[in-house]
Structure 1
Amino acid sequence: MIEGDGMWRGARVLVLAALSLLAEPSLAAKKFNLTIGYLPCITGDLRDRQGLTISGALSIALEELNNNTSLLPDVELLLEWHDTKFDTVTATRLITDMSCAGVVAFFGPEGRCHTEAIVAQSRNLPMISYRCSDYQTSTLSNFARLEPPGAQATKSVISLLRYYRWNKFSILYEESWVTVALTLENHAKKNNMTVNHQRAVIDGYKCCEDKMTCCAPGFWYQFIQDTKNKTRIYVFLGSTSGLIEMMTAMESLHLFSKGEYMVIFVDMMTYSPKEALKYLIKTEDRVSTKLICPNTIDFKKRAQSLLVVVSSEPSSDYEEFTNKVRKYNTLAPFTFKESVFVNQFFSKFVSIYAAYLYDSVKLYARALDQIIKEETRNEPLTEAKLRSIATNGTRIVAKMIQSSPYKSITGMSIRLDERADSEGNFSVLAFKPTKYQDGDVNCSYSMIPVGHFQHQNKREFPEYKLNPRLPIDWPDSVKPEDEPSCGFLNEKCPKDDSQITSLVVAGTLAVTLFCALVVTISIYRKWKIEQEIEGLLWKIDPQEIAGYLGSGLVWSPSKLSLASGISCESKCCTQIFTTTAQFKGNVVRIKELKFSKKKDIPREIMKEMRLLRELRHDNLNSFIGAVVEPLRVLILTDYCAKGSLYDIIENEDIKLDKMFISSLIHDLIKGMMFIHTSPLIFHGNLKSSNCVVTSRWMLQVADFGLHELRACAENEFIGEHQYYRGLLWKAPELLREMDNPNGTVGGTQKGDVYAFGIILYEIIARRGPFGLTGTEPKDIIERLKRPKLDGEEVFRPNTDALDPPPEDYVVACMKDCWAEDPNLRPDFPTIRSRLKKMKSGKSRNIMDQMMDMMEKYANNLEELVTERTRLLMEEKQKTEDLLHRMLPKRWT
C-alpha cells in the first residue's frame, strides 16, 4: 500500500533554488521555508476515500504559489504528508509529531476531524478541512471548512420554500442527516414556518446489510400512509436510493395523480449532467448495462413533483483541472500508480473534493500573505516573525473569513460564514424535456438546473433566482400548495349539506358556461376572419422590439454592410444596412424599407406576408413578421450568427474543404427547390449576400418575396460601383428588362438558376462573382446586357483559372446554369442530381456528418471489445477441453 513519510521537496524546486542561489544570493537569502501538513486518508475503513484521487490538487496549488512572485514572495512552502488511515489515534499522533517538527498548518484530516482540530487548537495552529462534516468543529477559532457542511444547504432549502410560499412542510431524514434535519427545523422556526412532521429512518444500506425490517418494500408505504393526510410538501434528507423508494411508495398511493404533493431533496454532491437521472431511476434498474427510460404518464408526474437542491455544476474549465490533478497524483511526492484493469489503464474519477483541497491551500496562502504585509509595513520580515504569524491559527482563519468571498477553481464565487464554514453554491434541479445522452443511453428528459441561490451581504439566507428561460413544469401545470384550500381536515370551509343548493348552482353554472361558449365561438369566428383580412398573424407591435434604434443603425457582425453596400432588387428599391434587435428574447435581423410618402399596404401584399410567415423549411431564413408604419416597413427575419455566405467566402481564415463546400451548395439547392415549388414560384434576388449561415453551419436562403413592396421603397444613393456590383448575379435577360420602363418587377426561376451558377463559381473560386477580372462592375453589366452576335462567345466567369480545378461535372453544371438561353438552363432537381457526387453519399449537413463520424468511431470500439471477448471465451473453451483430455473422466 502506498504511504508517504517524511518531508519532501520536489527535485525541480531544488534545482531552481540552487540556480537562484548562484545567480542572486541576496534575493535567495530572503526566502523563508514554511512546512505545511497534509493528512489524507489513503487506507482504512472510510468509504469513498479521496486521498488516492485528489492529492495532486495540493501539489498544483503549492507549485503555483511557489512560482508566484506577488503572493508570498518571501516564503517557500514545503510539504509533509502522512496517511491517517481513518483512525483518530493515528491522526492525533501524527499532528503532535508534525507540530513538534515545525509544521505550521494542517490540511485535513479526511472523514473525522473534531478531536484532531482540538489538538491543533492547543497550539493555535490553523487547520483547514477539505472533507469533514463534524459540526462541533465550527465553534473552534482555528478551524476553517471548505466543504460546505450539510447544514449550509438548509438555508437554500428555506429560501426555496419561502419563494414558493410553502410555509408548512414535513422533514424526513436518514439517521446520518440528523444534524442537518435539526438545523432545518431551527431555520424554519426563525422564519415562522410550520414543520408538520419530523421523522427519522434508518439509512438504507444499513437496513439491508443488517437484514432489518426497513429493508422490506412496504416500509416506505406505511411511512407515507401515516403522514400524507397532514402534509403536502416533503423535504427528504438522505440517499438517492431512499429518495426513489420514498417516491415510488407515494406513487403507489396515487399522491402524484392530481399534482398536490411535492418532494424537495438535498444532495451535497456536485451536479453532473451525466448523473442527472440518478434522482429518478436506480442504477440497479439497468438491463444489460443499458438504462431503461420510462415514459409513462405516472412516471412523468412523479418526476415533475421533485425538486433537488444540489451543489452547483463547476465551470467548463474544471475538466482541465481534474486532468491535471490525475497527472500530479502520479508525480512526487505522492507517486500514486495509475489503475490497471485487464492490462488497460483507466482514469480515476476526480471528485469535487479536489477543488476544496486546492481552494483551501490558496485561501490559506492569501490570508497569510495579507497578514505578513500588514506586519512588515514598518519593519523587515524575519524568520521568527514569520513563524509567529504562520502559527497564529485564530488570526489566519479570521483573515480568511474577512477575505471572502473568493473565486473557486470551480469558477464560482464562494463565501465563508462567521464560523469559517463554506456556504457553498447551490442550484435547483427540476424535470424538463431535454436530450439526455450518456454512452448508449438516450432519454428525452433529465433533471436540469432551473435556478440558483445567490448569497447577499449581511443576509443569513441566500436569494433564490429562477431562470426565466427554464420555467418549472409543475404537475398538471399548477404549483402545488402547502395546504388544501379548506385545510387538511376541511376546517376552513363551511359545511353545507343542501343538495338543492348544489344542483341550482351546478345548473346555473352549466347554462352560463354554455352561453359563454356560444358567444366565444361567435367572437372567435369574427376575429379569425379579421385576421385573414388584416394579416394580424404577421403584424408586430413596435413596442415588442427591443434594442432597435429606429433611424440609427445597430451594426451586426456581418461584413455585408461593408463589402456589398446596399443591394437593389430594381432601380427604385433599397436595402438598409443589416440591423439587429431583440424580439421576444431572441435576436432578429431587421430590414427597413422607407417610403417618401404614406404607403397603404394592399391586400395582395398582406396575403403574401401571411404566406411568408407560413413558409417553413430548414434551408429558408424564416420570416417572423413586419412592423407597418406610415413611412416605413420593418421586415423581421431570423438572425444567423455565422453571417452571410458572402462573408464566409471572403474570409480567408475559413478553410472550405470539399465536404464543407458540398454541404453549403446542397443546402442552397434544397432551399431553392422549396421556393420554386411554393406559391412564391421564384426568389428574384438570389446572391451570396442573400444566403445566410446558421450556428450549425446550415445555409439558409434569405430576402425572398415582397418584390412590389421592395421596388416601391425610397431609393438612397449608394454609389455607382456598389450599385452595379449588386447586379452581378442577375441573369442577362433580367438586366435587359430593367432598362424597360414597363418591365415587370421580380424575377424568374431561370434567373434564379443563373444566379446559382454564379454563386457556385464564387464558392469554388473565392475571388468574387466574376473572379479577378480587373473590370469595373458597370463594364461587366454592360457586356452582359449586350445581345449575343453570331459566333460571339458570351461573357462569363473564367473557369479555366480555377485553382485547384474542380471536377468536370461541376464545371459543366456551372456553365449550363449560366447559359445565355434561359430554356437551356437546368432546373434545381436536375442540378441536385448532377451534383450528387459532391456529397459522396452523405445526406445531412456538415454538423451532422461530424457527429456521424464520432458515432462510427464509438461503434468501432464496441466491436473491438466484443471481438476480444469472443477470443477470450474461445481460449477458455480450449483450456477446458484440454483438461478433459488430460485428466481421468471421474475427476473432470
Structure 2
Amino acid sequence: MDAVARMAAFWNIPIIGYMAASNSLSDKKAYPTLARISLRTTSSIAEATCALLRHYGWYKVAIVTNTGNVAYDRAYAFEEVFHAKKITVVKKIIFDEWADSKAMAASGLLNELKNTARIIICLFSNTRESSREFLTAANTQGMSVNEFAYILPWLQDGAKDTSPWIGTDGSVLQKVKDQYANAIIVDDVNSFDNSIIGPFVERIKDAGLTEADVDIANIYGYLYLFDALKLYALTARKVMNMTGDSRNLVNGRVMWNSMRRLKFTGMLGVSGLASGIVTMDDRSERAPLYRGFFVSPNIDQVIPMVHMEPTMIDKCDGLANRSGCYEIVVTDMMRDFWPSVDRRMPKDEPSCGFRGERCDFTLLIIGGALIAVVMLALVGAFALHRLIEKRALDKLPFRIYRDDMQFIDEEQLKSMLSLGSTRTKMSNANYGSRNHAIIGTNTHVIYHKGTLQDIIYNDNIQLDQKFHGAFIRDILGGLEYLHASAIGCHGSLTTWSCLIDRNWMIKLTDYGIADPLERWEKEQAVSVEALKGEDDKSQATQSTS
C-alpha cells in the first residue's frame, strides 16, 4: 500500500484505502491524495484508547509489546498520540515476538512492570494470541486486576476474528475466558455481535448472490470496500456539482480535499445498518467510532462500558496541526462494575507509591508498639498482683484448702442435724447447766467452737502465735470490762469459762458467782467433794429437796 500511495501522489490520482491500517499512511505530506475508510486503523484506535484513558483519569501508563515491524509500528503510533494528549508512558516492556506465558514470566520484566505502572496497554503483533499469553503470565505473577487495569486495543489485520475464548463450535472456553477476566477491550461498536451480518447478507441477495458465495469471516473487507466505493461516488458528484469539470474526477488533490469532513450512511439493509455512519475527518481519514468492552468472568458476552463517538471541531486545519480535527466524546454505559471493594477503577499510581515509599508508617508502628507494651505491662502487673495475693493467702494460718473440705449431700445433712456430734454441737444442757445458780438451763447460746480448754487440749488443731495473742487480747478486754463494772471481778476465770464463737472470738462466762458458790457450800446446797471423783470438772453437784 505504501508504494501505491506514493505513486498515486506522484501522478496526482485519488486513492482510497479500505483495509490499510498502518499509522504511517496518515501522513498527508507524504500521501496527499490518500483517503482511508477503514475503522481499524492504528491511529484511530489509538485516539479512542487515549480518550478512554483520559475519561478515567489515567495519565501514567505502561506499554507491553513485542519485537517485529508490526508491533513496532503500533507502539510508535500509540506513543505519538499519547505524547500529543499529555499521557506519559512510564514503562515500555518488549517481549520476543513468539514468547509464551512461561517465557514472559521467566524474563523478570513483569516485576519491573509491577513496580512502575498500574495501567497497562497491550500492543502485540498477534493481538489474539499474544494477549492471552501475557495475561496468563501476569496472573501467575500475582498482578491482580483489582489493582491493575489491562487495556487491549483490538488491532486485527484482515478477516474478523472471533473472541479468543470462543471455540470452533461456538462454545465458550471458560478457562481461556478466565485469563481475560476484567480486562478492557477497545474495538468498534459491532465487534462482538453479529448485527452487521444480517444487513450485509440481505444486500448480496439483492445482487443475486448467496451467503455461500462470500467469505463471512472477511465481512469487514466487503463493508469497507462498499463504503470506499460510495465515498468516491459521493465525492465525484460533489466535485461535478461544484466544478462541472469531469477531469477533476481523477485529480487526486481536488478529490481528497472534497472528501474532508464528509458524512454519509454505510451499507443499508432491510433489518438495519451494517457499516454504520461514516464520518470523514479533516484529513480524509474515517473518524473512529469505538466502544470500550468489559470482559466479565461470569457473563459469556462482553459488556459495553463506554461509548466513544467523534465530534468535529470547527475552525481547525488538520494539515497544519496533523490531527483529524475532532474530539471523542466518551459516554458511560455502566458504572460501579470494577471488581474492587469500593467498585472504583484503580488509580494510575497508588496513593502510597508503587513500593509504598510515599507512606511513612514509622509513627504508626511506634504507637502500636507502645500500646502493645502498655497492654503487656498492665497484664503482667495484674498477673503479679494476683500471684502476690495468692501467696499472701497461702501464708494465712486459717486457710482451708480444698482437699481438706468434704461436701455433704442433703441426706448427710439431715443425719448430722438429727444425731449431732459431741465435737461440733454444744448442747444447752452441756454448757447451760455448768456452775449456775439456777437449777436447769438459763443460757441458750450455742458456741460452735467450744471452750478454750477444748481448743488447747485438742491435738488436731494447730494454732500459731497470732491466734494465741488474739485469745489473750479478747480475755484481757473482757476482764477490763468486768473490772470497770459493778461486778468488780470475774471470780472464777478458768479455761472452760472462756467460750469461742464461730468468729474465733473469746467470750467470758460464769463471772460473778464465786460468793454465791461459797455461801451455798456452807449451806451444803452444793457438794465440792463430788467434783474430785469424776471426769467432768466443770460443774458441782446440786442438792435437791
- Residue 147 of structure 1 corresponds to 38
Alignment partner for residue 154 of structure 2, among 267, 292, 298?
A: 267
Q: CA deviation at 1:309?
A: 0.4
Q: Using the aligned pairs only, state the percent identity.
A: 18
Q: Distance in 1 between matches of 2:181 and 2:329?
A: 23
Q: Which has the higher contact order (CA 8 A, sep 6+)?
A: 2
Instruction: Could you tell me which runs of 5 or more consecutive residues in structure 2 were left unpaired when the two chains were aligned.
Output: 268-273, 314-324, 375-545
Change (3 A) 1:282 1:415: same
Letter in 1 for 2:54: R
- Residue 407 of structure 1 corresponds to 265
- Residue 417 of structure 1 corresponds to 281
- Residue 395 of structure 1 corresponds to 254
- Residue 51 of structure 1 corresponds to none
Q: Distance in 2 between matches of 1:292 and 1:215?
A: 19
Alpha-carbon contact 1:156-1:461 (below 8 Å) kept: no
Q: CA deviation at 1:392?
A: 0.9
Alpha-carbon contact 2:201-2:211 (below 8 Å) kept: no
Change (3 A) 1:289 1:121: closer
Alignment partner for residue 124 of structure 1, among 2, 7, 12?
A: 12
Q: Distance in 2 between matches of 1:263 and 1:159?
A: 15
TM-score normalised by L of structure 2: 0.56
Alignment partner for residue 312 of structure 1, among 189, 198, 205?
A: 189
Alignment partner for residue 115 of structure 2, among 229, 244, 259?
A: 229
Q: Distance in 1 between matches of 2:302 and 2:216?
A: 25
Deviations 1:761-787 (A, max 9, x none): xxxxxxxxxxxxxxxxxxxxxxxxxxx
Alpha-carbon contact 2:33-2:252 (below 8 Å) kept: yes
- Residue 75 of structure 2 corresponds to 181
Deviations 1:286-332 (A, max 9, x none): 8x98544249xxx86x645310101111797633343256558986x
Q: Distance in 2 between matches of 1:421 and 1:241?
A: 29
- Residue 133 of structure 2 corresponds to 245
Letter in 2 for 1:230: T
Alpha-carbon contact 1:256-1:305 (below 8 Å) kept: no
CA RMSD of aligned residues (A): 3.6
Q: CA deviation at 1:453?
A: 0.5
Q: Distance in 2 between matches of 1:232 and 1:337?
A: 45
Task: Give the secondary-structure state (helix, strand or coil) at the position aligned to 2:155.
Answer: strand
Change (3 A) 1:454 1:180: same
Q: Aligned ranges for residues 646-657 of structure 1 at < 5 Å?
A: none
- Residue 489 of structure 2 corresponds to none
Alignment partner for residue 95 of structure 2, among 186, 189, 201?
A: 201
Q: Aligned ranges for residues 476-495 of structure 1 at < 5 Å?
A: 476=341, 477-495=343-361
- Residue 303 of structure 2 corresponds to 448
Change (3 A) 1:144 1:202: farther
Structure number, greater radius of gyration = 2
TM-score normalised by L of structure 1: 0.35
Deviations 1:405-438 (A, max 9, x none): 332223533322332221231111003477xxxx
Q: CA deviation at 1:129?
A: 1.0
- Residue 293 of structure 1 corresponds to 174
Q: Distance in 2 between matches of 1:507 and 1:367?
A: 84
Letter in 1 for 2:249: A
Alpha-carbon contact 1:330-1:337 (below 8 Å) kept: no
Q: CA deviation at 1:163?
A: 1.2
Q: Distance in 2 between matches of 1:421 and 1:249?
A: 37
Alpha-carbon contact 2:110-2:138 (below 8 Å) kept: yes
Q: Aligned ranges for residues 755-794 of structure 1 at < 5 Å?
A: none
Q: CA deviation at 1:368?
A: 1.0
Q: CA deviation at 1:218?
A: 2.7
Q: CA deviation at 1:161?
A: 1.0
Q: Aligned ranges for residues 47-126 of structure 1 at < 5 Å?
A: 113-126=1-14
Q: CA deviation at 1:479?
A: 1.7
Alpha-carbon contact 2:121-2:152 (below 8 Å) kept: yes
- Residue 48 of structure 2 corresponds to 156
Q: Distance in 2 between matches of 1:122 and 1:493?
A: 61
- How many residue pairs get aligned? The number is 345
Q: CA deviation at 1:188?
A: 2.3
- Residue 32 of structure 1 corresponds to none
Q: Distance in 2 between matches of 1:353 and 1:193?
A: 33
Q: Distance in 2 between matches of 1:179 and 1:505?
A: 59
Change (3 A) 1:392 1:130: same
Q: Distance in 2 between matches of 1:290 and 1:367?
A: 44
Alignment partner for residue 60 of structure 2, among 148, 162, 168?
A: 168
Q: Aligned ranges for residues 605-684 of structure 1 at < 5 Å?
A: none
Change (3 A) 1:507 1:349: farther
Alpha-carbon contact 1:432-1:473 (below 8 Å) kept: no
Q: Distance in 2 between matches of 1:448 and 1:133?
A: 26
Q: CA deviation at 1:505?
A: 8.1
- Residue 426 of structure 1 corresponds to 290
Letter in 2 for 1:323: V
Letter in 2 for 1:128: I
Instruction: Could you tell me which runs of 5 or more consecutive residues in structure 1 were left unpaired when the two chains were aligned.
Output: 1-112, 208-213, 340-345, 377-384, 435-443, 509-892
Alpha-carbon contact 2:239-2:249 (below 8 Å) kept: no
Letter in 1 for 2:151: I
Task: Give the secondary-structure state (helix, strand or coil) at the position aligned to 1:217.
Answer: helix
Alpha-carbon contact 2:105-2:141 (below 8 Å) kept: no
- Residue 219 of structure 1 corresponds to 104
